[in-house]
Structure formats: C-alpha cells, structure tokens
Structure 1
C-alpha cells in the first residue's frame, strides 16, 4: 500500500453537518458474541471513518477498510462499517498493529487511524487475568473478575471521544482493485472445484493449494 500524508485536513467533519448513522454498539456486540475492548476499539475506528469520510449508505461497498491485525476489532468493523471479506472491501494485512485505514472509493479520501500509546493507562491485573485466561489456567473467580474489569475498560473507552484513542491522519492511498469473478476448475488430485485464479499447475494439470502443498511437503 502506497501512502503519503496529505498536507490538508482532507474530508474532515463539516461544522453543523448531521451526524451520520451507525449501527448501535449493542448490535455489534451481538454480531461478535460479546463486548470486549477489541470490539469497542473497532467500533470507535469505524465511527471515526464514517464521520470523516461520509460514505453513501446506499452505495454498498463504497467504504474500504485495510486492517493491520487479526483481532476482535475486525468483527466490529464488518458490522459497523459494512466492510466485509465477502464483499472484498475488507483487506487484512496482519502486521500485529492496531492500525486501520479507511478509503472512500467515490471521493478517494482516506484516513489512517493508529492506536495511541497509552501504556500508563493499562491495568496490570487485567493483563495478568487475560494471560491466565488465554493459557487456560484462569479460575472461575479469575474469569468473573476479568469480565468485570473488561466492562470497566469498555465503559471508560466509550466515555471518551473516539478521537482520544487514535492518531488520525488523512492520507493518499492507492485504492485496491476489485477482484473479478473467477472461473472454476477441477483439482486433478482431490476432484474438488477451485477458483482458477487460486489454483496451481502441477504436471500440466490444475491442483488446489492444499493438494499442491501436500505434494510439495512430500518431496
């Protein structure tokens, strides 16, 4: 992705303009399965993008999101911003960074949001509880305390303006090309259909990626 910081303010919020609609957080949490700081972060990122880029709600797929992590925020962005893998307007580049770039394809405006360094605000007890939960060593009391602290963290995030949590830059980004519908071919190994653009050629025949990898590992 080619990026250059734009010198101006781009399509910042217009004074007096009507606040754009966004899916309620409760619906986003229902889509994800629960409410957690990662979901809240993705929701706030989507909220900023919609405010600043003003995509046309009737133009599905106009807003594109490039997300540089594979965490819970992805589901919030899919639900709140309408950027999904299936439509091709959600691009995941998992660099392990809480960085989100949104592009309005109709206007070529784009914003890049990167989470601010707020380590002084981190709760060491929360981190320890989360570690135990991930490792599978958390007790029922640990999980109850984790849920309580998670709610406190989410409430604190939502009590502040969304812009508090991100460094926001208007950028110039090369808009990703929309993928074309591909014809399907039959894998000569397993017999299953695969998109031709994702198939590999082996001994003059098409094979799917799993079969190709299996053959390669067998060498």
Structure 2
C-alpha cells in the first residue's frame, strides 16, 4: 500500500480501534468517493453528507476521513443491512451511491488483503443517489416533558391530554392493534 494511503488507513484504525474487513469497505468507499468528487476534502460543516445503509464498521472510516458525523447532521442512517453509501456534496449538488458488490470467497485475512489492495472500481457499483440531498440539520427548541420532567427537542414532542410529553412517556391510543 502506498505510504499516503497507509497513513489514511492508520487514521481509520486509530478511530475504529482495530483494522478489519468492514473498516476496509468504508475506507475503500471513501477513496472512491474522493475520486468521484475529484477532491479529497473533508466536511468542515455539512458540505458533504453521507447516508449509510449500514451501521457496521465501514461507517467509522467515513467519519474518520470525510468528517461526516451524526452530531453535525451530515451522517444519516437509513439502515437496510447493505454495505452501501450515498454521498452528496452540497456546494455543487454532485451525488452518487456506492454499493459493495459480492466479494470473492476468501478467508478473513485474504478478504482483508483483497479489500485493501484490490481495485475499488471492481468492488463497488456506482449508482444514482436515491434521494435529493437531505436538508441541513436544524436546531430545535427545547421543551420539558410534563410527566418525567426531562428536557428534549421539540421535534420529538407529543401532545397527550393537553400536555407536552416526550416519546418515552407518550402512551399512544391504539385500541390494542
């Protein structure tokens, strides 16, 4: 592996805690995304957005190298159990989806070597991003639950018996269905 790529890989390993095949999937997805974006920039704020269809190890490489995070609102999970990632660049609207192709039958170590040294063009299908770029993260007013007294974001509020309640205290009327 090239020295520059080794340095990036080690950054992912340090963030994730260990090197593994799942982390390598995310690492290679980021390298491919940088190629498709024609830039190896990170996301200072929300310039780059990733919608991950998995919550597995590969997402950590995306956080470490692209600086897409849940807290900033530019890492969004749409859990489908797939090693697939949709990337969006807000300034110019460029977007695409990378979906991991089936990997060859190999041992764990052989698979990691294939992921690390193989051609990422052969590892992923490039498709259109399925949705428009997600809206930017919003900051919501904080309200207090009338049942438990805890504070929470207004966007999660329910009205029950004329009182504001949080999701944990809310008792929906379902008639047993």
Structure 1 length normalisation: TM-score? 0.70
CA apart distance, 1:195: 0.5
Give the counterpart of 2:74 among 82, 89, 101: 89
Question: For residue 10 of structure 2, what is the aligned residue in structure 1?
Answer: 26
Judged with a 3 Å threshold, the aligned counterparts in structure 2 of structure 1 residues 22 and 194 are, in CA distance, closer, same or farther, namely farther
1:169, distance to aligned residue in structure 2 (A): 3.0
For residues 131-170 of structure 1, the aligned pairs below 5 Å read 149-170=107-128
SS for the counterpart of 2:169 is helix
State the match for 1:203 in structure 2.
Answer: 161
Change (3 A) 1:43 1:116: same
5+ residue gaps, structure 1, are 1-19, 124-148
Unaligned runs of 5+ in 2: none
Deviation by residue 1:32-65 (Cα, 9 ceiling, x = unmatched): 1111111100111111112221265474321111
- Provide the aligned length of Structure 1 versus Structure 2: 171
- Looking at secondary structure, tell me which structure has more helix per residue: 1
Q: CA deviation at 1:105?
A: 0.6
**Larger Rg: 1 or 2?**
1
RMSD, matched Cα: 2.6
Does 2:152 correspond to 1:194? yes
State the 1:179 CA deviation: 2.5
Instruction: Identify the residue that residue 79 of structure 1 maps to in structure 2.
Output: 64
Which secondary structure state, in structure 1, belongs to the residue aligned with residue 24 of structure 2?
Answer: helix
Deviations 1:49-106 (Å, cap 9, x if unpaired)? 1222126547432111111112111111111111110111111100111211111111
The residue that corresponds to 2:99 in the other structure is 114
> Partners of 2:70 and 2:58 in 1: how far apart?
14
Cα 1:58/1:91, change in 2 over 3 Å: closer
